[in-house]
Amino acid sequence: MSISSGATAAPRGGAVGSPLLAVDDLQVEFRTGSGVVNAVNGISYTLAQGETLAILGESGSGKSVSAQAIMGILDTPPAHITGGTVVFEGRDLLTLPPEEQRQVRGPGISMIFQDALSALNPVYSVGFQIGEMFRAHQGLSKKDAKRKAVELMDRVRIPAAAQRVNDYPHQFSGGMRQRVMIAMAIALDPKILIADEPTTALDVTVQAQVMDLLKDLQRDTGMGLILITHDLGVVNEVADNVAVMYAGRIVERGTVDDVFSRPAMPYTEGLMTSIPRVEAKGGRLVPISGQPPNLARIPSGCPFHPRCPRRRIGAEAAPGRDCAVDHPPLRLVVPGREAACHYSEEVLGV
Instruction: Sketch the domain layout of the chain as residue ranges.
Output: 117-187
The yes-or-no verdict on residue 18 having pLDDT over 80 is: no
Over residues 59-83, the mean pLDDT reads 95
Contact in structure between 66 and 249 (CB atoms under 8 Å): no
Tens digits of residue pLDDT in 23-66: 999 999 999 999 999 999 999 999 999 999 999 999 899 999 99
Does 5 score more than 60 pLDDT? no
Span 258-311, pLDDT tens digits:
999 999 999 999 998 877 665 656 667 778 999 999 999 999 999 999 999 999
Mean pLDDT, rounded, of the chain: 90
- Measured CA to CA, the distance from residue 108 to residue 165 in angstroms comes to 25
Q: Which of 43, 239, 318 is nearest to 344 (CA)?
A: 318
Instruction: Establish how many alpha carbons lie within 13 A of residue 106's alpha carbon, considering only the half-sphere containing its beta carbon.
Output: 17
Of the listed ranges 80-84, 97-101, 271-275, the one predicted with least confidence? 271-275
pLDDT recorded at residue 286: 78
Q: Could you please report the per-residue DSSP string of 190-238?
A: -SEEEEESTTTT--HHHHHHHHHHHHHHHHHH--EEEEEES-HHHHHHH
Q: Which residues contact 307 (CB under 8 A, 6 or more apart)?
A: 267, 270, 288, 289, 290, 291
Across residues 89-101, what is the average pLDDT?
A: 94
With bands split at pLDDT 50, 70 and 90, how would you rate the model's confidence at 205? confident
The single-letter code of the amino acid at 205 is T
